[in-house]
């Protein structure tokens, strides 16, 4: 076997040994990208501090589009004070990745809790964390 053959074998072995993202990984990445966008949209929404809890939850709820589902929410009415948790919204996001050369596509549902807090220094703070989906 010539040098070219050995080089090709080495390249194929290296590519096969790399951990390519699975279809599930790619679908999860899509859900996390959407969650990040929703949190960012909340931060730029300029909901009034006096209606931050109900206003933020209502605003985020309107941004959730099919096939995603709002699972529940809570908000605290009134003027937000420093450090207050003023609202949360639970969302199930379903994403589907497509087949490619290396992996099969997959459908994945990821659940998130979006929280809204007020900070006297930074204003409205929107965060999201992954949580277990209801069975």
pLDDT, tens digit (0-9, with 9 covering 90-100), for 67-118: 899 999 999 999 999 999 999 999 999 999 887 766 678 899 999 999 999 9
User: Rounded distance, CA 132 to CA 75, Å?
Assistant: 21
What residues does each domain of the chain span?
22-131
Q: What is the mean pLDDT of the chain?
A: 86
Q: Is 76 exposed, middle or buried (0-12, 13-18, 19+ CB in 10 A)?
A: middle
Predicted model pTM: 0.80
Contact yes or no for 130/110 (Cβ under 8 A)? yes
Give the up-direction half-sphere exposure of residue 37: CA atoms within 13 A in the CB hemisphere: 10
Query: Under 8 Å CB-to-CB from 50, ≥6 apart: which residues?
Result: 78, 79, 80
**pLDDT tens track for 115-132:** 999 999 988 999 999 999
Pairing outcome for strands 107-119 and 85-96: antiparallel
- Both tokens of 45, joined, read 């929404």
How many residues in the chain?
Answer: 135
Query: By three-state DSSP, how is residue 33 classified?
Result: helix
């Amino acid at each position: 076997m010539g040098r070219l053959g050995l080089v090709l074998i080495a390249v194929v072995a290296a590519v096969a040994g790399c951990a390519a993202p699975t279809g599930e990984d790619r679908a999860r990445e899509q859900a996390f990208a959407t969650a990040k966008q929703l949190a960012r949209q909340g931060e730029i929404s300029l909901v009034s501090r006096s209606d931050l809890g109900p206003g933020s939850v209502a605003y985020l709820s309107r941004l959730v589009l099919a096939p995603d589902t709002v699972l529940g929410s809570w908000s605290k009415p009134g003027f937000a004070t420093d450090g207050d948790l003023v609202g949360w919204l639970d969302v199930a996001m379903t994403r589907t990745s497509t087949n490619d050369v290396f992996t099969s596509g997959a459908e994945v549902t990821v659940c998130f809790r979006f929280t809204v807090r007020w900070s006297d220094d930074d204003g409205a703070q929107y965060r999201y964390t992954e949580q277990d989906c209801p069975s």
